[in-house]
Amino acid sequence: MKFLKIAALATLGVTLGVLTCPNPAQAKSYMISGHPVHDYALNDFQYYKVKRATPLRFLYSNNTTKKRIVPKGTIIIGHKYPGSSVEKPSIAIYLSQLDYNFLNKGRPKHLELLSISDAIGSSRPQDYQRIARPAYLPAMSLGDLRQTQFNTNPTYGTKTYSQLRLTSNGLAEFSRFKNPNDINAAQRPQFRQKIEKATNKGNTRQLYFAKKIPGLGMKKVKQTGKLKYRLTIVNQHQPFQNHDPEDESDLGFYSRYTVGGKTFVTQIG
């Protein structure tokens, strides 16, 4: 099964998350799977906090739309553009990594959320304040970590046993799959908890929760309060390249993490 791909923001001429570099000679290189990879081939996200409640319009599979309000203080992934003599300043917003409940609240029954129409751009970039990457989000990642077995034999494909989504607005959504060959990454998560606190030091980040998420390897560190359970996520610093054996053009770069003692991967390019 293919991992999540970053959608092209066609009207802005930019692919969000994968920034092009006009001068390859100035780009940094990393060794991944024994080959040098320029940093412009990897994800480069920017993070913003919503300064005031912001209306957006969601598009559904029957071509109807519905206005939603992004609350003040929400953290989103996006990219600001200064504008030009013919274009106003704008911000491209990538909202799909917000939590499941927000994206699906008020969704008409039996209709799929096709896209978020204002994800292409907002005419009020001043409503979004640039911030550093939140401590709970891995570098160069949308926050999707999966317990996955890659296969080079197209007969078997990729198997995904569980998925942890660390949403941009600070929730952990976790699901385990009975059939690892057939999962829907957009399905309702089996468990979800708010991340009450996050620290990031060296290659280790610690996430704290008020309640335990079953099957995620959390450790109880307090008897009461909002910081009772801790999840340890360690960057193994072992990036690798993989591709779909049925699609030679489907190349992807991934990074390995230890999540609660188990190995997960996340796409970084």
Percent of the chain with pLDDT over 90: 44
pLDDT: is 25 or 47 the higher one?
A: 47
Please give the structure tokens belonging to residue 91.
Answer: 């911000």
**In angstroms, rounded to a whole number, what is the distance separating the alpha carbons of residues 201 and 157?**
36
- Could you read off the pLDDT of 193-224 as tens digits, one per residue? 999 999 999 999 999 999 999 999 999 999 99
Q: How confident is the model at residue 249 (pLDDT cuts 50, 70, 90)?
A: low
Structure tokens at 199: 């620290």
Question: Which pLDDT score, from 0 to 100, does residue 121 have?
Answer: 56
Q: In 3-state terms, what secondary structure has residue 37?
A: strand
Cα pseudo-dihedral 174, 264, 249, 2, rounded to 10: -30
- How far apart CA 4 and CA 1 sit, in angstroms, is 10
Q: What is the pLDDT of residue 123?
A: 64
The whole-number pLDDT of residue 222 equals 96
Percent of the chain at pLDDT exceeding 70 = 78
- pTM for the model stands at 0.81
pLDDT tens-digit map of 111-145: 888 877 555 556 678 889 999 999 999 999 999 99
**5: pLDDT strictly greater than 60:** no
In this prediction, residue 195 carries a pLDDT of 98
Phi, then psi, of 17 in degrees rounded to 5: 100, -30
- Per-residue model confidence (pLDDT) at position 122: 60
CA distances, 167 to each of 39, 141, 189 (Å): 24, 11, 12
Confidence at 185, pLDDT banded by 50, 70, 90: low
pLDDT for 266: 94
User: Is pLDDT above 60 for 58?
Assistant: yes
For the record, the structure tokens of 36 come out as 């040098």
Comparing CA positions, the residue from 166, 162, 169 lying closest to residue 143 is: 166
